[in-house]
Amino acid sequence: MTTASLSQIIGTAVIDVGFRSTLLSNPESALAQFSLDAHELRDIASIRASTIEQFAEQLIKWMNEHEVEWA
């Protein structure tokens, strides 16, 4: 996975209030529309945050831990 894919998740959450709400309350459902493998989906869906800023911080931490390709 590249940062472009993950950036698309954050970008969608920033501009689409419905997606953002679902991402924060039911991440598995929100992430289903993205091309994530089972491991990525499990890990990213496990992020618990009350704001998109908190979600993005945790996603960046996950990316760094998993050496996601910064494109």
Position 58 in a domain: yes
* Burial degree of 25 (CB within 10 A; 0-12, 13-18, 19+): exposed
The closest of 69, 53, 50, 65 to 6, measured between CA atoms, is: 69
For residue 16, the 8-state DSSP code is -
Tens of pLDDT, residues 47-68 = 999 999 999 999 989 988 887 6
What is the predicted pLDDT for the residue at 3? 75
In a domain, 32, yes or no: yes
Region 26-41 average pLDDT = 92
50, part of any domain = yes
Q: Extract the tokens encoding 45.
A: 């869906």
Domain carrying residue 31: 3-65
Do the beta carbons of residue 50 and residue 21 sit within 8 Å? no
Structural domain includes residue 59:
yes
pTM score, two decimals? 0.84
- How many domains are there within the chain? 1
Q: Do residues 15 and 7 make contact, with C-beta atoms less than 8 angstroms apart?
A: no
